[in-house]
């Protein structure tokens, strides 16, 4: 799946297509874990897609939003709605097995950010995030726990900043010049 297709999972312009594509992504992720069955609340998936697109938490809206804001909106809404009912295998995830919604939201967001384009008006250019975000196992565990308790209205900006800082660490030339 190409990066543009991954972002189209979230923002294709069709709620039905977004819902189907997100369910496919979840199914593919579950298959990589060897899960033959994964219970999903499809009503929650519909709500996530609707809210993420129609009630975007940044005033200019999803169309003008950075890739970081888009994945933050998705992550916080996905985690809050908890659409994946089945915990992940404890032998693979240990104490994080019941944090399946944060795990999926983070995985899709990192996939979507790889190759994403930032339309930087300030620098008058498009910047591609060509390097994939990589973090340590310890950071990942703490981040999954933190994301698991997200409430969109309270955590959208912080989650956006987390994704932005991780992307800029992986792609230092994409970052603004530090001035403060």
- Whether 180 is covered by a domain: the verdict is no
Q: Alpha-carbon distance 169 to 172, whole Å?
A: 5
Does a structural domain hold residue 157? yes
Is 85 among the domain residues? Answer: yes
pLDDT band at 9 (very low <50, low <70, confident <90, very high): low
Structural domain includes residue 15: yes
Does any domain span residue 164?
yes
Tens of pLDDT, residues 11-59: 788 888 888 889 999 999 999 999 989 999 999 999 999 998 888 888 8
What pLDDT sits at residue 2?
A: 41
Q: Is residue 179 part of a domain?
A: no
- What domain range includes position 68? 3-174
Of residues 123 and 102, the one with the higher pLDDT is: 102
The DSSP symbol for 133 reads: P
Contact 101, 148 (CB under 8 A): yes
Tokens of 96: 């994080």
* DSSP output for 4-68: HHHHHHHHSS-HHHHHHHHHHHHHHHHHHTT-S---B-HHHHHHHHHHHHHS-SSTT-TTT--HH
pLDDT confidence tier of residue 4, bands split at 50, 70 and 90: very low
Residue 156 has a CB neighbour count (10 Å cut-off) of 20
When divided into structural domains, the chain yields a total of 1
Assess if residue 61 is contained within a domain: yes
**pLDDT for 5 beyond 60:** no
Assigned domain for 150 exists: yes
> The tokens of 90 are what?
């404890």
pLDDT by residue (tens digit) across 64-88? 899 999 999 999 999 999 999 999 9
Give the whole-angstrom CA distance, residue 68 versus residue 8: 15
Look up residue 122 and give its DSSP letter: T
**For residues 96 and 100, what is the distance between their CA atoms, to the nearest angstrom?**
7
CA distance readout (Å), 64 to 26, 79, 123, 127, 171? 26, 23, 16, 15, 21
∠ CA 41-88-91, nearest 5°, is: 170
Q: Please give the Cα distance from 129 to 150 (Å, whole number).
A: 25
Q: What is the pLDDT of residues 97-121, one digit of tens each?
A: 999 999 999 999 999 999 999 988 8
């Amino acid at each position: 799946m190409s990066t543009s297709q991954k972002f189209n999972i979230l923002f294709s312009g069709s709620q039905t297509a977004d819902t189907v594509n997100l369910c496919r992504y979840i199914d593919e992720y579950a298959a990589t874990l060897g899960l033959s069955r994964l219970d999903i609340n499809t009503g929650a998936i519909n709500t996530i897609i609707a809210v993420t697109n129609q009630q975007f938490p940044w005033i200019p809206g999803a169309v003008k939003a950075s890739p970081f804001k888009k994945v933050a909106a998705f992550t916080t809404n996905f985690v809050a709605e908890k659409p994946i009912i089945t915990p992940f295998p404890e032998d693979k995830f240990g104490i994080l097995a019941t944090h399946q919604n944060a795990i999926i939201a983070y995985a899709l967001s990192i996939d979507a950010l790889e190759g994403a384009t930032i339309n930087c008006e300030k620098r008058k250019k498009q910047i591609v995030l060509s390097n994939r975000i990589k973090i340590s196992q310890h950071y990942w565990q703490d981040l999954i726990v933190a994301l698991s308790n997200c409430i969109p209205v309270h955590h959208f900006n912080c989650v956006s900043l987390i994704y932005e800082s991780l992307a800029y660490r992986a792609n230092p030339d994409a970052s603004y010049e530090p001035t403060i």
